[in-house]
Chains A and B, each alone.
Chain A
Amino acid sequence: MKRLLNKPLRSFAIYSLIILLVSIPMYVLVIDYIWLTELDENNWLTLEHTIEKLESNTYSSEEIELMNRLWSELQPGLSIVPIESKAPFPDSVYQVIRPNAYDIDDEEDRFRGLKRHVLINDTPYALTIETNVEETDETFVAVALITLFFFVVLIIGFVMLNRKIAIQAWRPFYETLTRLKSFELSKDQSLVLPASNIFEFHELNQSLERLIQNNVETYKIQKSFTENASHELQTPIALLKAKLDLLLQQQELTPAVSELIASIEAPLSRLSRINKNLLVLAKVGSHQYDHVEVVNVKEILQDSLVLFDDYVSNKKLKLSVKTQSTRVSANIYLLETLLHNLISNAIRYTELGGQIHIDVIEGVLQISNSGVSALNEDQMFDRFSSLTNQKVSSGLGLAIIKEIVTKYDWNVDYSFDAGMHHFSVKFD
């Protein structure tokens, strides 16, 4: 995944590279043009000056020859040689590339020349001036190097600016992102997003806040509905239970009727359990269980296990327990509920004579029980997802575990290996 800010950076870099690359030949052409026009002008000026002086003094042909000899020794760019044709030819500007005696590195140099027809004492001469000029390829290399240097400077600038912009302008965005990540609907927290003076972020935050506010409302309504519904259900369940108890006391009950009454008890107690668990589930996130204290998981576990004695020995289960002192901050009732649900699940789903191992080591509680095959993890912690076709569970035990674990930012995991189911809760 690319980061948002790196995307324009790449495009900017590529764009500036293209522009700079295109600019190199342009610069070279322009520089070359300026070079040549300046040199041509310079050549022309020198020539004008020389001719003016030559014409004002009447030099003999010997003197001119001497002059040319001296020039070729002292000032090799200038020469005056007699020519045949008396008819004047127009000025000619030319360019030659030839070796330069003084330039050792470079084999050849470029020269810009100007040749003019002059008449001195009626003798025609060709006056030539040549000036060394930088070759185009050398200009190209120089311009390319400079351009490359500035390209690097530009990219460094982009990266630094980008970072600065990221830190400053995008800060509210990233802050919003962080807060959204840590937001959980079930935790009954309100989402406050940072204020921003950037229009888009402001809009984004406002929309998010509205969206989440609606969700929170819906969630609360659903929760209080669950709570109210299970409260309302408690009374009829209590009534049913009382009636059954009374019915059982009737004289002259036939064994068949007695058995019928007894068989009503099981589904009734299942109904009552589902109802109770729904209530717990609805209340876990509420403020009812906000009283938190530091408790030792080891102690609570040991107290809980005593309560399950009968159920363990009734199924002839082999129970092994290894515990270290592990202190956690939690509501005692919720911690007990968590443990009771995990232990009762393990007992319920282990076959007769099976094994249960309970470890509390280094902040991790692991409850393992023997089983045949792995459970489907996907919807394991969802409400009413039945993992087995046993109709014993309320379908809410694992959902309650998940809810409690989420409340305290703990972690619950399931795995299966070597014929054992493992449920582990990582505290902290």
Chain B
Amino acid sequence: MKILIIEDEVELAKDMELFLSREAYHCELVANYDQAMEKVYAYEYDCILLDLMLPGGDGLSILQELKKLNKNEGVIIISAKNSIEDKVSGLKLGADDYLAKPFHQAELAARVESLIRRKQFDSHNTITQNEVMIDLQAKTVTVRGEGVVLTRKEYELLLFFVGNKNRVLSKGALAEHLSGDLADMFDTHDFVYAHVKNLKKKLKEAGYQDYIKTIYGSGYKWEI
């Protein structure tokens, strides 16, 4: 999987690369508009992470260029501008997703994974983790062939875990994933406990091998 990270803050780009490279992702980093255009013209990527404020040009015009070239790459806008106008115009110009800075790396990883999956499998789309199978189309979960009824939030949590397997997820990251912008209006994210507890209980009753581990003091991990 090839990912192009267009981000002028090199340090941040490197962190993203480091975090993502634990999957089978190969990342390329560019820090300005011209370099970005060169790469976009010359190569194919599975996913492009695009910062809108770039030295030498507007990130939005890279999107326009991609559209003109009839390229079908998935684009996630990563913007510090955090303005709804940018979000709307970015999505209109064909971006697949929008993530406002600052974000949790786990959130980015989950979105990248989900985007690549969407692009790769059009109709039949399932995730299998040993005995656990998630049908993304029908939004159902089975363990050893047996259906597990999850609430919407439990289902989203499970996807988030699976998309970040073997990574430690902090409560903050989980809370932000579940309630988005609202999460940072509160300091306590205790409700995450309840959802994780319920999810674990339901999966365990269906007979999964206890992949969700509690990491003392920091959060949870889907260990497989």
Contact = CB atoms under 8 A, between A and B. Distances in A.
Given A242-B105, A311-B191, A348 B18 contact: no
Contact of B168 (A235, A248, A266, A288): A248
A239 interface: yes
B105 A392 contact: no
Contact of B102 (A231, A241, A270, A344): A241
Contacts of B105: 241-242, 245-246
Contacts of B171: 262, 265
B5 to A, nearest CB: 12
B172 A314 contact: no
A239 B186 contact: no
B187 interface: yes
Contact of B186 (A259, A279, A311, A313): A311
Contacts of B16: 242
A344 B187 CA distance: 11
Given A246-B19, A276-B82, A265 B170 contact: yes
B173 interface: yes
A273 interface: yes
Interface in B153-209: 153, 167-168, 170-173, 178-188, 190-191, 194-195
B216 interface: yes
Interface string B74-106: 000000111111000000000000000111111
B27 to A, nearest CB: 14
B52 to A, nearest CB: 12
B218 interface: yes
Interface residues of B, number: 47
Contact of B104 (A245, A255, A344, A347): A245
Given A238-B80, A238-B101, A276 B19 contact: no
Interface string B92-127: 000000000111111000000000000000000000
B11 interface: yes
Q: Interface extent on A, as a size class? A: 35 or more
Interface in A268-310: 269-270, 272-273, 276, 279, 283, 288, 307-308, 310
Contacts of A58: none
Contacts of A235: 9, 12, 80, 101
Contacts of B19: 242, 245-246, 249
Given A234-B80, A239-B9, 5 more contacts: A231-B80, A242-B105, A248-B168, A311-B191, A341-B185
B81 to A, nearest CB: 8
Given A262-B171, A265-B170, A310-B179, A248 B219 contact: yes
Interface string A248-272: 1100010110110110011001101
